[in-house]
A and B are shown apart, each in its own frame.
Chain A
Amino acid sequence: MEKQNKILVIDDEETMLDCCSQVLCPLGLVVETAKNGRLGLDKLKEIKPDVVLVDLRMHGISGMEILEKINEIDEQIVTIVITGYGTLESAIEAMKKGAYDFITKPFTPDVLRITMKRALDKRKLSLEAISFQQEKERLRQNFISIVSHEIKSPIVTVQQNLEIILNEMFGKITDKQREILLRMNLKLTELKKLVNDWQKIAAINSQEIVENMEILKLDEIIYDVETALEEQIRNKKIKMKINIPDSISRVFYGDKSRLKEVFLNLLDNAVKYNHENGEVEISARENGNYIAISIIDTGIGIDAKYLPFVFDEFFRVRDEAKLDLGAGLGLFIVKKIIDAHSGKVEARSELGAGSTFTVFLPKVKNDKFNSGRI
């Protein structure tokens, strides 16, 4: 059996409450009433109604205030406002504040029935939409976690066994055998990275990023990223130049782990596509309402015809097939994370001379900073 819908009527005219109950109860609805705004709010929290009918003009807490409170309690509650004759303007204002519909006093039982039916349909649809959305998200997240775990586990186990053979724990292997085993290992590493990247993309959730935002020290993030790539930087004899003014630290904010991911990807590219003894410069500056952080390399550069596509999913420059390029998800991840921060990312490049990737992140506003929380 379908659960009975609950209606709350808030009006300071006793007769109005009675009339509404008389019309609505025969429709199989549970009708609760409150004879002023304060009692209305208490009932609202207590019974969690599907639809609220509220008179705009009441003594004490007004209908307009109740409307605002309803949105705070549960945005999905559908509200119908009752207005006096000739007060269309206040009805419109109420609609702007989120009321679903209005009825004007005096109204016939039929008007109330029809309006109520529409409001209940709206309530049903929005609840369904939410539950579908949640179900979809849950399935998606579960699917990705399970699939990536199930794919990664065997890859890693195969690699672990390759390591044992490569380590010659159980007998010598020839150089040729070693070469073949290393080739196998490399392919598995690429496959694993693809699964990891895919998992990361699925996990980027704007809502979560906004919740995780905090004031950050850019120089610390860059230091961590540089440390993580220490080996690659040393092997290629890359000269690092870092130029981050202290003032940036006071206005720089975001989701720490995600931004590390961004700069890790960008610095990794700047090193990977660089020449030996090349240079990488990381510099930050204030740019209007943004902090602009540039990663400038002296590497092979990107042909102008490819530049507009570098942030696309699975894009990679085909001409450079001989380089180890991965699956083409790194910059896509960067863009997704920066988009979720309401920032932007930009690529400039000259073939043969190097590339500059610039991340623009909105500055933290002073009032937010002063309150200590974002």
Chain B
Amino acid sequence: MNKRTKILIVDDDKDYVDAIKTILEIKNYEFGFACNREEAMHEIEKMKPDLIILDVMMEKLNTGFEICYKLKHDPEKKKIPVLVISAITAKTGFKFSPKIDGEYFEADDYVEKPVKPDDLLERVEKLLKR
């Protein structure tokens, strides 16, 4: 494959985006960024990412949920894997993961912030292989 894999990082904390990018940069990925729902939807159209890394709390407490819902109910875009990275635990009042509270969230994978670099790289690879 000669085309670079494209990852869109959606998070409103620029410094956090930089940290994630620092980790993923050791692979030869191409990056895009968005810090709110509007930008995210725009970037998805424009760059057609192979994977989306998504935060939950942005301009609204549930921006990430909204974006994810929109994607997963779109016949085209629902194929794009979504990895949620978030510090949120309050939505369900319980530490949630697709395993325990999967009914709330249709993301393909979920990991709590901060994430171990090896763990992040592994999850990204795994989702890209699908």
Contact = CB atoms under 8 A, between A and B. Distances in A.
A261 B116 CA distance: 26
A152 B87 contact: yes
Contact of A160 (B19, B61, B89, B94): B19
Interface stretch (A18-26, A161-169, A272-280, A300-308): A161-169
Interface stretch (B20-28, B38-46, B72-80): B20-28
A178 interface: no
Contacts of B93: 200, 203, 257-258, 260-261
A156 B94 contact: no
A161 B13 CA distance: 13
Contact of B16 (A145, A160, A257): A160
Chain A interface, >50% SS class: helix
Contacts of A104: none
A123 interface: no
Contact of B100 (A167, A199, A228): A228
A57 interface: no
B90 interface: yes
Given A145-B61, A149-B57, A156-B16, A163 B90 contact: no
Given A160-B19, A161-B19, A257-B93, A167 B61 contact: no
Contact of B114 (A145, A163, A227, A260): A163
Contacts of A153: 13, 16, 87
A196 interface: yes
Interface in A257-276: 257-258, 260-261, 264
A258 to B, nearest CB: 6
A260 B118 CA distance: 30
Given A160-B114, A163-B115, A257 B23 contact: no
Interface in A158-182: 159-164, 167, 169
A157 B16 contact: yes
A316 interface: no
Contacts of A199: 90
B100 A203 contact: no
Interface string B90-119: 101111000110000000000001111110
A260 B94 CA distance: 7
A145 to B, nearest CB: 6
A192 interface: yes
A257 B94 contact: yes
A192 B93 CA distance: 16
B57 A160 contact: no
Given A149-B57, A261-B94, A163 B116 contact: yes
Nearest to B13: A153
Nearest to A163: B114
A68 interface: no
A224 interface: yes
Interface of B: 13, 15-16, 19-20, 22-23, 26, 57, 61, 87, 89-90, 92-95, 99-100, 113-118
Given A157-B19, A167-B117, A192-B87, 4 more contacts: A152-B87, A156-B114, A258-B93, A260-B94
Interface of A: 145, 149, 152-154, 156-157, 159-164, 167, 169, 192, 196, 199-200, 203, 224, 227-228, 257-258, 260-261, 264
Q: Which 3 A-B pairs have the closest CB atoms?
A: A257-B93, A159-B114, A160-B19
18 contacts: A145-B61, A149-B57, A154-B13, A154-B15, A156-B13, A156-B113, A157-B15, A157-B19, A160-B19, A160-B113, A160-B115, A162-B114, A164-B117, A167-B116, A169-B117, A227-B100, A258-B93, A260-B94
